[in-house]
Structures are given as structure tokens and as C-alpha cells.
Amino acid sequence: MDDLQRNAPASTVTNVELGPRSTVSERATVGYEYAEGAGATVLGADATVRSGSIVYADVRAGDGFTTGHNALVREGTELGDDVLVGTNSVIDGETTVGSHVSLQTNVYVPRETAIGDGVFVGPGAVLTNDPYPVRRDVDLEGPTLADSVSIGANATVLPGVSVGERAFVAAGAVVTDDVPPETLAAGVPAEHRDLPEPLDGSNTIA
């Protein structure tokens, strides 16, 4: 906490609980108080928060939480163990993330998204939560990614879409409909295909 207090006005940092062996760069902010009376930020053991990253108040992460540089994790986010939020990636809050999850560089995760265990989201992938941006006032609903889902680089998953367990979304795909478990989704808009044998099975993310 001393480094955080030296590098940010006291009014912007709220209660922070860091587990043993955790490290926070002097150029990162953990516990950004987005509203008066915001709750604590809790990071488990062996957390690593790299320079430029901001973790808001009301964020809870298990052991092994890691950020790249300039990552953003906003309020109301719950993360399991061994979660990586890559460089320049954003979790926009009110989101649940399971354990052993890898969000690579430049990933965007909107509010009201649910991500299961063992999920991989490739560089530049975008999840969305607003079906009619600006044009209509509707409830936001992010995608649901079940356990062991893989999302390829630069793929886009539209609001409210569910991607089933062990499904694989190809690079550059635009996913407009629910993807059944153990299915390949590829193309624009994405079409469903049988999952090739080399892609079959669960993800193993340390």
C-alpha cells in the first residue's frame, strides 16, 4: 500500500488486501475508488500487477492473479485463481471470471459477462454486450463462455451469445448465435462445424 499511496492521491485508493508474495508496480493502481464508500480490493497470494495497470475497488481475485501492462479491471469483477489479464486488456466490471483463464493482449470484456474455468481468449478478441449501440435503450447482456472455451485472435462475440463447453471460435469469426458444446465456429457470420480432432478436449492453462 505504501507505493500506491506515494503514486496516487489518497482519495483515489481504498482498502486493499494483498495475499502473500504479491507484487504491485509503483506505477500501477490497485483499489481505485470509483465511488465514495466503495468496497475493498482483494487479491490472493502471488498476485502480479504490472506498471500502468488499474484495478478498481470492489474487485476480488484468487491466487495467482496477473496483469500485463496497462490492463484495466473495473468494479464488481470476481476472478478465480490463476487469471491473466493481458497487456492493454479491459474487463469493464460486473463480470465473473473462473479459474485458469488467459485473456491475451488487447482483449475487451464488457459488463454482464460470464467466463468459466480454463477459458482462453486470444489477442484482440472483443466480447460485446449492447445489441443496438446508441440507437435503443436495452438491458446490457454480455456473452457467456463455458468451461474450456477457446476464442481465436480478433474474433467478436455478440451480446447474449452462449459458447458451450470446449467449443472453439476461430480467429476473426463473428459469433452471432449460440455455439453448442464441442463445436467449431468459423467465418463471418460464424457457421458451426464439427470440431476437428486436433481441437477436441479441454484446455490446460497453468
For the cut 70, the answer to whether the pLDDT of residue 108 exceeds it is yes
Could you report the per-residue pLDDT of 30-65, keeping only the tens digit for each? 999 999 889 999 999 999 999 999 999 999 999 999
Q: How confident is the model at residue 9 (pLDDT cuts 50, 70, 90)?
A: very low
First-to-last C-alpha distance (Å) of the chain: 28
Where residue 11 falls among pLDDT bands split at 50, 70, 90? Answer: very low
Burial per residue of 156-167, b for 16 or more beta-carbon CB atoms within 10 angstroms, e otherwise: bbbbbbbbbbbb
- Please report how many Cα atoms fall inside a 13 Å half-sphere around the Cα of residue 147, on the Cβ side: 6
- Cα–Cα distance for residue pair 28/20, rounded to 1 Å: 18
Question: pLDDT, tens digit, for every residue of 162-206?
Answer: 999 999 999 999 999 999 999 999 999 999 999 999 899 999 986
pLDDT of 10 above 60: no
Is the distance from CB of 190 to CB of 173 less than 8 angstroms? yes
Q: Give, in order, the Cα–Cα distances in Å from 123 to each of 10, 15, 106, 147, 156.
A: 34, 32, 6, 19, 11
Q: Of 50, 49, 53, 42, whose CA–CA distance to 19 is shortest?
A: 42
Give the pLDDT confidence score for residue 20 in this predicted structure. Answer: 97
pLDDT of 27 reads 96
Q: What is the pLDDT of residues 121-165, one digit of tens each?
A: 999 999 999 999 888 888 899 999 999 999 999 999 999 999 999
pLDDT of residue 12: 56
pLDDT value at 112 more than 50: yes
Contact 110, 140 (CB under 8 A): yes
Query: Which residue type does 8 have?
Result: A
Cell matching residue 201: 478436449
Distance, CA of 151 to CA of 49 (rounded, Å): 24
Q: How far is CA 189 from CA 75, 95, 150, 157, 192, in A?
A: 32, 26, 17, 10, 10
